[in-house]
Amino acid sequence: MRAFVAEKTDDGVTRGLREDFELEGDGDVVVDVEYSSVNYKDGLATIAKGQVARISPLVPGIDLAGTADGAPVLAHGYELGVARHGGYAEQARVPAEWLVPLPDGLSARQAMAIGTAGYTAARCVMALEAAGLSVDDGPVLVTGASGGVGSTAVDILAARGYEVVASSGSSDPAWLKELGASEVISREDAAGDAGRPMEKTRWAGAVDCVGGAVLAGVVRGLKYGGAVAACGNTGGIKLEATVLPFILRGVSLLGVDSVQTPIEARRETWARLATDLRPPHLDDAITREIGLDELDEALSAVLRGELQGRTVVRVS
Ligand SMILES: NC(=O)c1ccc[n+]([C@@H]2O[C@H](COP(=O)([O-])OP(=O)(O)OC[C@H]3O[C@@H](n4cnc5c(N)ncnc54)[C@H](OP(=O)(O)O)[C@@H]3O)[C@@H](O)[C@H]2O)c1
């Protein structure tokens, strides 16, 4: 079958399209893959320094949607595209307990336009609302806003009525405003002044895809009782902070993981992604489509931080 494969060599990792890749093994459910998508982690799975791939050769693709025994399904996370073959091939073997029935109202393409990134954005919004955030509390910041998680977070939050401020190094603020951002600020503005233990309060809540100095700045600028959902590290893994915002303003740092979410919570989140958490710009402004033969360039672009919005991969 056709598959995009990453394979370790003495010099690093080679990656490319193969026409005759064999899907070995038995058990599990065979999914005929229609769509996958491009996530930052997929880029990492195809480079030596990425420290993500746990088998070689590996079919990357941490998410996929298609049909299994005639039923529409999707799957993402757990070991997909990391320790077992993922979505960049015409078929995948997936344990039954990892499968999510495609919710009514979502096509396979739309599910992958959401993909791991949109799912993570939804989990961030759910975490913030569970911590008490509501639309009357004030501006909500999204960092790394032009990326997959960031752009879907902007879209979901704006559709729910929040005043959304987007932090971005992107040169296309008009596009973020089209998704519903009321204002676009620079990464430097979001990072603030690292020399201060706290800043003037600005954010009722935040979705942070970046980590590092930007997350530290967000924590220092949260309003009393505010919370930030932290899910990413494109700007670094270190977090330099003092306890002051936590003990003087009662702010919260909420960790969000999409990989190991228990399957029941995952299925419930997808049901909400098809309804009240559905990103309204899925089919137009957010998503572009590529084929397997365009993956190499897209993976390089995601690693350079240059992929805007969501990129779905048409597999078969
Ligand atoms: N916790 C989880 O389960 C989970 C799930 C999905 C993704 N993630 C993580 O979330 C992050 C975003 O994922 P994604 O798929 O949305 O990736 P993406 O599409 O590549 O978006 C990342 C965005 O981060 C910003 N960025 C890139 N390099 C930067 C730098 N050096 N400093 C500051 N900002 C930078 C860019 O946005 P601007 O140009 O707009 O600034 C970029 O578009 C990644 O770290 C990913 O690993 C985690």
Q: State if residue 29 touches ligand 1 by the CB under 6 angstroms criterion.
A: no
Among the listed residues 292, 314, 305, 139, the one whose alpha carbon sits nearest the alpha carbon of residue 233: 305
Q: State if residue 146 touches ligand 1 by the CB under 6 angstroms criterion.
A: yes
Ligand 1 atom at shortest distance from the alpha carbon of 43: 20
Interval 52-62 mean pLDDT: 97
Q: State if residue 73 touches ligand 1 by the CB under 6 angstroms criterion.
A: no
Q: What is the pLDDT of residues 9-54, one digit of tens each?
A: 998 999 999 999 998 877 799 999 999 999 999 999 999 999 999 9
Q: What is the pLDDT of residues 194-225, one digit of tens each?
A: 999 999 999 999 999 999 999 999 999 999 99
Residue 171 has pLDDT above 90, yes or no: no
* Residue 119 amino acid letter: Y
Q: State if residue 236 touches ligand 1 by the CB under 6 angstroms criterion.
A: no
Distance in angstroms (rounded) separating the CA atoms of residues 64 and 66: 7
Q: State if residue 259 touches ligand 1 by the CB under 6 angstroms criterion.
A: yes
Residue 172 has pLDDT above 90, yes or no: no
Distance in angstroms (rounded) separating the CA atoms of residues 70 and 186: 47
Strands (E) across the chain are located at 3-9, 12-18, 29-37, 63-68, 71-76, 91-94, 100-101, 140-143, 164-167, 181-185, 203-208, 222-230, 252-255, 287-291, 310-314
pLDDT at 24: 81
Determine what percent of the chain is predicted with pLDDT higher than 70.
Answer: 100
pLDDT at 243: 98
pLDDT, averaged across the chain = 96
User: What do you get for the CA distance between the two ends of the chain, in Å?
Assistant: 10
pLDDT at 23: 87
pLDDT at 124: 98
Residue nearest to atom 41 of ligand 1 (CA): 168
For 219, phi and psi rounded to 5 degrees? Answer: -60, -40
Residue 84 has pLDDT above 80, yes or no: yes
Residue nearest to atom 34 of ligand 1 (CA): 235
pLDDT at 112: 98
Query: How much distance in Å is there from the Cα of 207 to the middle of ligand 1?
Result: 11
Ligand 1 pocket test: which of 119, 234, 239 has the largest number of ligand atoms within 8 Å of its C-beta? Answer: 234
pTM of the predicted structure, to 2 decimals: 0.96
Provide the 3-class DSSP secondary structure of residue 176: helix
pLDDT at 1: 95
pLDDT at 29: 96
Query: How much distance in Å is there from the Cα of 277 to the middle of ligand 1?
Result: 20
Q: What is the pLDDT of residues 68-79, one digit of tens each?
A: 999 999 999 999
pLDDT at 20: 95
Ligand 1 atom at shortest distance from the alpha carbon of 214: 33
Distance in angstroms (rounded) separating the CA atoms of residues 227 and 288: 32
Q: What is the pLDDT of residues 124-156, one digit of tens each?
A: 999 999 999 999 999 999 999 999 999 999 999
Ligand 1 pocket test: which of 40, 119, 123 has the largest number of ligand atoms within 8 Å of its C-beta? Answer: 40
Q: State if residue 233 touches ligand 1 by the CB under 6 angstroms criterion.
A: yes
Q: State if residue 116 touches ligand 1 by the CB under 6 angstroms criterion.
A: yes
Q: List the domains of the chain with CATH numbers.
A: 3-102+286-314 (3.90.180.10), 116-255 (3.40.50.720)
Q: What is the pLDDT of residues 108-132, one digit of tens each?
A: 999 999 999 999 999 999 999 999 9
Query: How much distance in Å is there from the Cα of 249 to the middle of ligand 1?
Result: 28
Q: State if residue 209 touches ligand 1 by the CB under 6 angstroms criterion.
A: yes
Interval 253-270 mean pLDDT: 96
pLDDT at 58: 97
Query: How much distance in Å is there from the Cα of 70 to the middle of ligand 1?
Result: 35
Q: State if residue 168 touches ligand 1 by the CB under 6 angstroms criterion.
A: yes
